[in-house]
Structure 1
């Protein structure tokens, strides 16, 4: 193994081990700086954004490894493509969030740069899905095209649970519970 390959391998191991904790810090910092509105009830990154970020770091490293390969222009060209794709995925990880405010639900799903907005009057029902007796997800059903969205409950939701439930009641939205098996 050449010197630069061994360095890239060590960097890859570091990114693999440290990529996920790094993603927690970087994504939350970027989202709070550029995407978080001034007024909101709950703002959270979707779990997939952390995995996309970590995968992007590994792809970046692979792309660099292929680019610095001086043996073949085809491999170097492929490295540029991999590196470019990694940059796109890195940006997509920042655009992957959900937030709730007085107006409604703002969702930016995985692999999209466009936020989808549902006003509270478009929400038909909200169902809390419980796993082993504990809240796990919130299912939103909308009155447009049978759209549905599953929100994975996190600590941010738990800290604002009372306010969230009040917001749902204030908009006369059907609220229920269902156990997952």
Structure 2
């Protein structure tokens, strides 16, 4: 009788965790991602620091994956001890994979400072760096939306012909004067381009 009660409590706790994970997958990334990234990765003197949108999406997907793994674990009740061990192993592996993706989403950001542009791509633990001196052209692409022309993105063309595109955001627009200053020191200006 007592083992049934413990199993029922365990299943109720598991169901509660599933519900919390599903709901928090929409909220937690928005609340936690930027402050944690800022704490660990933001340099002291920086013009612009922002996580990629994909970092939020990957964090959300990892939490949803954890909730889904728990839900499958909740719905499938193995009959044998071996089945329970296999199920437990699959659940632990799923959680480890999700935690790796969460850690990688924390490590996915972009920074602009007096040295240049720093970007940490999702599957990379090493930061990509582009010095201001490597930029040969800078453009602000403006698009006509709803009867008004609005800046859509900044495009930096590098010496090797590759480009870096940054969608405009409030943070980027606040840093635009500093970016212009760095480019002006190197004989460049941000050109307006209209699409």
| TM-score, normalization by structure 2 | 0.78
Matched with 1:155 is: 170
The equivalent residue for 2:51 is 45
Deviates more, 1:80-89 or 1:167-176: 167-176
User: Could you say what secondary structure the match of 2:67 adopts?
Assistant: helix
CA contact (8 A) 1:129 1:137 kept: yes
Q: Is residue 2:185 matched to residue 1:170?
A: yes
Aligned mates of 1:54, 1:109 — CA distance in 2: 17
Alignment of 1:140 with 2:156, yes or no, is yes
Tell me, yes or no, if structure 1 residue 32 matches structure 2 residue 32: no
For residues 36 and 10 of structure 1, what CA distance do their matches in structure 2 show?
Answer: 33
What is the TM-score with the length of structure 1 in the denominator? 0.83
In structure 2, what is the equivalent of residue 7 of structure 1? 16
Counterpart check, 1:109 vs 2:121: yes
Higher fraction of helix: 2
Q: Look up the SS of the partner of 1:160 in the other structure.
A: helix
Task: Quote the Cα distance in structure 2 between the aligned partners of 1:27 and 1:5.
Answer: 25
In 2, Cα distance between equivalents of 1:65 and 1:129? 46
SS at match of 1:111: coil
**Secondary structure of 1:172 counterpart:** coil
Q: Is the 8 Å Cα contact of residues 22 and 63 (structure 2) preserved in structure 1?
A: no
1:80 aligns with one of 87, 92, 102: 92
Across the two proteins, how many residue pairs are aligned to each other? 175
**Aligned-pair Cα RMSD in Å:** 2.3
The structure-2 alpha-carbon separation of the partners of 1:56 and 1:169, relative to structure 1 and needing over 3 Å to count, comes to same
Alignment check: 8 A CA contact 1:67 1:80 kept:
no
Q: Do the aligned partners of residues 162 and 173 (structure 1) sit closer, same or farther apart at CA in structure 2, a change above 3 Å counting? A: same
- In the alignment, the residues of structure 2 paired with residue 12 and residue 24 of structure 1 have an alpha-carbon distance, to the nearest angstrom, of 14
Q: CA deviation at 1:5?
A: 6.4
Structure 1 gaps, min length 5: none
